[in-house]
Amino acid sequence: MLKVQAANAHTLLAEKIQHHLAVIYESIELPQTIESLTDELFAIMRLDDANVSEGTLKNSPELWSEKDTILITYGDSLHNDDEPPLSTLHQFMHKYCYPTINSVHILPFFPYSSDDGFSVIDYSSVNESLGSWKDVEAISSEFNLMSDLVINHCSARSAWFENFKKSEGIGCDYFYTASPEDDLTGVVRPRTSDLLKEVETPEGMKYVWCTFSPDQVDFDFRNPAVLKAFVEIIRQYLDHGIKIFRLDAVAFLWKQIGTSCINLEQTHEAIRLLRSLIEQAEPQAVIITETNIPNHENLTYFGNGNEAHAIYNFSLPPLLLNTLVTGSCDHLKRWLMGMPPAQRGTTYFNFIASHDGIGLRPAEGLLSDKEINNLLNTMQLFGGRVSWRTGENGEQKPYEINIALFDALQGTNQGQDKYGTERFICAHAIMLGLEGIPGIYIHSLLATSNDYEKVENTNQNRSINRHRWDYTALTEALDQKHTQNSQVLNRMLALINLRTNQPAFNPNATQFTLHLGGQLFGYWRQSVDRQQSIFCVSNVSLEAQNLNLADMNLITTDNWKDIISGNVIDSQTHNITLQPYQTVWITNLYE
């Protein structure tokens, strides 16, 4: 009986994969049948009758909870001369983060040629300057490990591209080419460099598609060999303990001349295919799509609950930053009210700082051009830089703000003030309470400031927020009570620790936006079992604000407490005064 069920499950999965492939390659003449391609993918992922589960095909396991927080870091954000940086990172996380932070996203840790890792030379090995697969596995044995799958492009110095230039060997047909005569005016890109790169080959001059830079050459997924190569990479990563896959720049995966070459249907279907394979090979695995695009486009990567398990909440960073430097939460509140709850099996990935800048495309349609320009001017006052992109018809538009978040929040549009740290903590308190899984950039956790020297050395704006800490100097700073780094780390960890003990902060718990005026930003969370409520309210202004508890309809028969301050709210309390940038988490269920 069990063998029959397994065979049935295997057949159902095969039919599902064949459907995905038929959609992706509908207009492509393949060198093999869809059925044989499916068999090859099954073999690569080691999906046979014995390990294909009918239950997994029908039911999503519980993949996340309020206990989950992800630290975002480069493999060499911390360095110690006597050991591999990945080992140093592991020591730091074990000493300062465990068990409060249970997951880590290590940005590309593979051999690379540019873009701080996102121009991968070899997907199958660990960059020797960082460590080895043994170091990666040591981290994955203690923390949930998230890794990038740089799926849109690879390095122009990779073996695959060398074979392309020779027109022979593995990779010789892996890359997308076009003609300078093609109509490419509608192509949407995040960079201003030339789209096509001239490459001399034995077959003549070819023009290779480069969405991001001349060193990052785009794959041609019309060739199923490229798909098979990436499925092999995924299988290897699973074998090394990686459970969370960040699909980098995946919105650009499929190209079609005459279109925008972004968010095409084949791209969405490819994500559905990868999810079907990955979740069957490892039921606890998660796919997160990195699509730095306008909010309404970003939401489409949930599909019908069958694409990304989680999507980056890209509109949150620019809207929250704008809120805290203007003192008005109107845009943030309006956006949050319009965000649909993530359906079962999906959630949001919330962050407000990362290795990249603060993206401005996700603010399109949410902030006016004038408001974006005002935000740019304020950030430049605090030492920030602006990176640009090429829009439709070739016009230049601001793409992102490059600045360390700690410096970005040192003041408002009125200038720098004394509330920088409080404003910074407020930003994270807002983010930590929201529906979704929170991601904390290591330089936010450590209150790292702008690295102007690195910008000068690399001539790259993004380097401003990619500092490398000497581990000895860092531990000395963290072990002193009164340093900026120590105080911020302790306050951040205290907030995260509070969060992990609240069922109402489950990533899929109910959320409603509160209407408390322009200076008080608030929302209500309720646990899945409806036993716990938390009212999260933050003063986003420079002036103290009065919070009328009647506006939140607290049930007077319950006992309430702000778990951040520890203050109990009894039946005689009708108002609370929130100091500038103070946050309260008022709950009816507490110890």
Rg (CA), the chain: 24
Cite the active site residues: 248
Binding site listing for substrate? 115, 153, 246-248, 355-356, 462
Listed in sequence order, the residues at least 6 apart from 393 whose beta carbon sits closer than 8 Å to its beta carbon are 185
CB-CB contact of 104 with 54 (8 Å): no
CB-CB contact of 409 with 423 (8 Å): yes
DSSP 8-state symbol, 262: S
Q: Rounded distance, CA 509 to CA 28, Å?
A: 43
Other C-beta atoms closer than 10 Å to the C-beta of 46 total: 12
Q: Rounded distance, CA 210 to CA 153, Å?
A: 8
Joined tokens for residue 376:
């740019």
Binding site listing? 115, 153, 246-248, 355-356, 462
CB-CB contact of 359 with 399 (8 Å): yes
Joined tokens for residue 231:
């499925």
Q: Rounded distance, CA 353 to CA 488, Å?
A: 15
Q: Rounded distance, CA 571 to CA 497, Å?
A: 28
Joined tokens for residue 347:
């959630």
CA 113, 174, 250, 16 torsion-angle sign: negative
Helices 316-326 and 369-381: crossing angle in degrees, nearest 10, is: 70
Helix (H) or strand (E) holding 205: strand 204-209
Q: How far is CA 122 from CA 113, 288, 433, 523, 582, in A?
A: 10, 22, 39, 45, 47
Whether the bond between 99 and the residue before it is cis, its omega within 30 degrees of 0, is yes
CB-CB contact of 172 with 166 (8 Å): yes
Half-sphere exposure of 63 (CA within 13 A, CB side): 24
Length of the chain: 591
- In our burial notation (b when 16+ CB lie closer than 10 A, e otherwise), range 532-552 reads bbbbbbbbbbbeebebebebb
